[in-house]
Chains A and B, each alone.
Chain A
Amino acid sequence: MKRRWVSIIQALTIPVAVLLLWLVAAQRDWLAGGLLPSPSEVWAALTHLARRGLLVRHLQTSVLRVLFGFSWAAAMAVPAGVVLGWVRPLRPWLLPSLHFLRQIPPVAWIPMFLLWFGIGEASKHAVIVYAAFFPIFLNTVVGVEQIPRSLWEVSRVLEFSPGKTLIKLVLPGSAVAILSGLRLGLGMSWRALVAAEMLAATSGLGYLVMSARSLVRTDEMVVGMILIGVVGLMMEQLLALVERALLPWNRATAGRGGGSDGSIVGYPKRS
């Protein structure tokens, strides 16, 4: 368990150093001019927002939006990716268009989504679904593609039905890639949501940051930004835990190159 402590200390070194530097800078009045608030001002803004219930409200709104949109994205992207990874003849028809769509960042869709779905929740959900879809989908395709031919042959020799092939071979064989796709997709949709909330929303953490700007409340901006980072980090860590729980066979091989520890599976090449 000693390793764990070491890595926690390593992870915290830079944040703590930055915080100390920030405190010192505030103390020596280097921050005058109002471009950056002092840590105590940020803390005050945080407690103030919390007391008025705004913090929980914005946080909750954003998280719920992401969970809703992300679930839909996962529910569509995993099956679609499995089908495309499995049924090779479909790929040359679909992959080029999908790679084209992938180039258009979620933010660029916001004006269109606002037009189609209005200013309400639906447009935010659309942004999230779009943002999460591609990482999940493309990782799933790669995951299914990477299942060794030797194991496909075993499934044929044992005469697996399509359902059995799915459960015994395709899903577990691509699980590592799917889960890392889910993690990527969650991060993408979180960042896209914040952007959407900044452009068109009346609630959420993105809105918090943007509305602080119009009042030049740098303290609230920083609160919002830090929360966005912390929540994103927590969601990713949560998925990493799920990953470890779901893939017991993978633990032994992880870290020896083919690990599940945050390694990002690349996108398939165009062919």
Chain B
Amino acid sequence: MDPLLDIRNVHKVFPGRTPVTAIEHLNISVEKGDFAVILGPSGCGKTTILRLAAGLDFPTGGQVVFNGRPVQAPGRQRALMFQEPRLFPWLTVEQNVAAAGPKELARRSLGSMGLTEFAASYPHELSGGMARRVALARALVGQPDILLLDEPLSNLDLPVRRGLQSELLRMWQQGLSCVLVTHELEEALVLASRILILSPRPARVLWDGQIPLPYPRDRRSDRYLAIKQEIQQAMEGWS
């Protein structure tokens, strides 16, 4: 069977006075049902990968294929949660979420994230963590086949982080395939069914493996620690 999202030998060069090669010979296949976490150092091209997958940018070489078809434009089946919330400042929380799908679903989605109370608030009235949850609710309302997440948990305090984590896992367990990029190992180990480690820019895959651990992850178990150690070794390529 074809992979859900297939990044085939992709190059990405940003032209300019000094052209930047963000990605070089990158191959990543995401299968249906994966919770793939792409772990890479800052500035290695993580956001670029997601933008290519979403169809906001196009590769200089190679191909991005989704469900057997080359990606030519953004589409609702591939929901992207940006690194920043990017809510429309002139729409209320509920209107922001409903802009992405049916109103009934928007309400339910807000409810499941504990945001009902803030449905009528404007984005500038929200904390960073709440804005992030609204962005996630919006990404989910379109009922995508795959969810692309750009560091959804960074810069959040622990309780908010835990909440979002379990929300993401719940969506995944209901059958949503996820690709998450981050530079934090812990975030990856808590969520991933599979981890890919990237090199510094230009991004290449250094390590790719399944994480066969049950959820919620027990950070003190031997298997967890063994996998963590193996990944940390792979991450030594970062410096």
Contacts and interface: CB of A to CB of B under 8 A. Distances in A.
A168 interface: yes
A255 to B, nearest CB: 13
Contact of A157 (B56, B123, B125): B56
A151 B122 CA distance: 16
Interface stretch (A197-205, A237-245, A246-254): A246-254
Contact of B82 (A154, A173, A248, A250): A154
Contacts of B84: 150
A249 B80 contact: no
Contacts of A172: 88, 90-91
A249 B122 contact: yes
Contact of B88 (A153, A169, A248): A169
Interface stretch (B22-30, B71-79, B222-230): B71-79
B54 interface: yes
Interface residues of A, number: 21
A3 interface: no
A158 B124 contact: no
B85 to A, nearest CB: 10
A168 to B, nearest CB: 6
A159 interface: yes
B75 A159 contact: yes
B86 interface: yes
B234 interface: no
Interface string B82-109: 1010101111000000011000000000
Contacts of A169: 88
Interface footprint category on B: 20 to 34
B86 A168 contact: no
Nearest to A169: B88
B41 interface: no
B91 A168 contact: yes
Interface in A125-175: 150-151, 153-154, 156-160, 164, 168-169, 172-173, 175
B86 A154 contact: yes
B142 interface: yes
B74 A175 contact: no
A178 to B, nearest CB: 13
B89 A159 contact: no
Given A248-B122, A249-B122, A249-B124, A157 B90 contact: no
Nearest to B76: A159
A249 B75 contact: no
Chain A interface SS verdict (over half): helix
Contacts of B99: 158, 160, 164, 168
Given A168-B91, A169-B88, A252 B79 contact: no
Contact of B86 (A150, A248, A249): A150
Given A154-B82, A157-B80, A248-B122, A173 B56 contact: no
A153 B90 CA distance: 16
- Could you say which of A154, A173, A175 has the most chain B C-beta atoms within 10 Å of its C-beta? A154
Contacts of B122: 248-249, 252
Contacts of A252: 122, 124-125
Interface in B134-148: 138, 142
Contact of B54 (A157, A168, A247): A157
Contact of B74 (A150, A159, A164, A249): A159
Contacts of B82: 150, 153-154
Given A168-B91, A248-B122, A252-B124, A158 B76 contact: yes
B76 A249 contact: no
A159 B123 CA distance: 21
A175 B56 contact: no
The 7 closest A-B pairs by CB, nearest first: A172-B90, A156-B74, A157-B74, A249-B90, A249-B122, A158-B100, A154-B86
25 contacts: A150-B86, A153-B56, A153-B82, A156-B74, A157-B54, A157-B56, A157-B74, A157-B79, A157-B80, A158-B76, A158-B99, A158-B142, A159-B74, A159-B75, A159-B76, A168-B88, A169-B88, A175-B90, A249-B90, A249-B122, A249-B123, A250-B90, A252-B122, A252-B124, A253-B124
Given A151-B88, A164-B99, A172-B91, 4 more contacts: A153-B86, A156-B56, A158-B138, A175-B90
